[in-house]
Structure 1
Amino acid sequence: SKHSRKRWAATARRVGSSWEVSAPERVGLVQEFLHQAFASAGHDRVLLGFDFPIGLPEAYGVQTGARGFVDFLDLLRTNAWPEFFEVAQRPDQISLRRPFYPQGAPKGVTRAALVAGLGVSSFNELLRASERATSYRQAACSIFWTLGGNQVGKAALAGWQEVVIPARRRGARLWPFEGTLAELAVLPGVVIAETYPAEAYRLVGAEFSRGESKRRMADRCRKAEAIFAWAAAHGVRLAPGAQQAILDGFGPLSAGEDAFDALMGLVKMIEVADGRRPEATEVQDRSRAWEGWILAR
């Protein structure tokens, strides 16, 4: 999230043949978070999962002249595209080098302006393959659209500037752009992947039924039994602080939903690391080059 109060992380460490999961914690300073990750990566493999888009729609990417998303990130590191991180306020400001729109919620903003400004034929072309509607999920929002409750563009802007680009400077590698997890785990280091915690709810049996809400502490408390059952079934050790957080529904504050999602995202990563879920059901060539993928989707 672009808001620091909504940034939470859950951590699992390999201990013998099992995982030990710590209680979710607020991230605090992103620089310190990355410092700790790279300190661990000096002698170990570290997989960092983030709930924001990592990649660009191919229809946009091929217009930039870069060879792929990783190459494009290198362009952004050099400040060759200084306006890229500035959200356009008006349709006439939208361009290849300033693709995010709109800033605020001025009257009359339309997605058609974004389509025209970015030189594509439809809004669907501004979705990555992993974001498009299927028979079992609705379409996500385009990374470039920054208005509404389901927009993800501002989180991506913050995540790339504060996490991905600085981590790349320190040698982090990006899944799946630079290889499979097995290929990227050959040597110690930091690997960054995109995750979507909500997909872990069903995996654990912790879905929210009609009338329930992830935002309510009492409803989160009702998921404790399912989470404990998943951990017991797979030999995952929950530290005392993690157990208490789960029993308490991650606390009464609104940030409880973010701590809950941090743990759910971690659950999904453990499922992949242990081989119970594939890292990707499909990773097309364009996904490798430009669009990326969501871990375990």
Structure 2
Amino acid sequence: MAVVSADNRGLRLGARYAVLVLVAVIFVFPLLFMAMSSLKPDQQLLSDTDSLRAFLPVGDISLNNYFAAFERAPIGVFVFNSVLVTGITVILALFVCSLAAFAFVFLDWSGRGFIFSVLLATLIIPYESIFIPLLLMASQLPWIGTGGFEIGWLNTYRVQIIPFVADGLSIFLFVQYFKDLPRELIEASRVEGASWWFVYRKVVLPLSGPVIATAAILKFLFMYNQYLWPLMVVQAEEIRPVMVGLGYFTDQLNVPWGEVMAYLTIITVPVLAFYLSLQRAFIASVASTGVKG
């Protein structure tokens, strides 16, 4: 019986891994197609799309599309801008949203239930529906910087960052995770005289790695893929992000597909690097249901 049970467990484990490998292959295929297509001339790229050759480095392989893409657009500037804007937004969002969630979960103040309900209601409002009012507001907001006092945030990094620092989804994720943290740790810290700021920094945040990774990945993907808002508020080439840069390759009748694939391959690298750096914590957040005290 023990041998039969062990065989059944082995079969189940093998079937599970087979399904996971199949799912991984399905997700990897678009990336593989993109990378392989970026090495081929347009005519071969299009002719290979009806066969498995589209996923293989066969035919006339070269880096010409990459060289042509860098000549067509300042790709390095676009990638730098996107990484800068996305990185700053993620860091600020993690701090602001986790702090707001901490106040909702651990602090007792009047009206927090109603305000949290209003916050959740904002999740059904698409960002695109508020872009026009936000654009009008951003064009009239004052700012004091190194150049002195000025009116308007257009054509700046701050207009791409500040409107997206706080969002309902990230706060909701932190709230749900914080609710599962052992209250005994919080109460013991408070009994010993720790301030709420100390509890937030030294007790809550060190236990929140999974939700921090989850919120960071979701915010990174949202910010890195921004297109409509930067297109509306940024006209200066030196601060444009990568998605707006796609217009350099598609603004014509004959689209250079090889260069487009090269550009997409280049701008995908920061996303993969960011995800892989947080992969372990992200998987832990999906696999776990909370911290048990």
Same fold (TM over 0.5): no
TM-score relative to the length of structure 1: 0.25
Write 1 or 2 for the structure with the bigger share of strand.
1
TM-score relative to the length of structure 2: 0.26
Write 1 or 2 for the structure with the bigger share of helix.
2
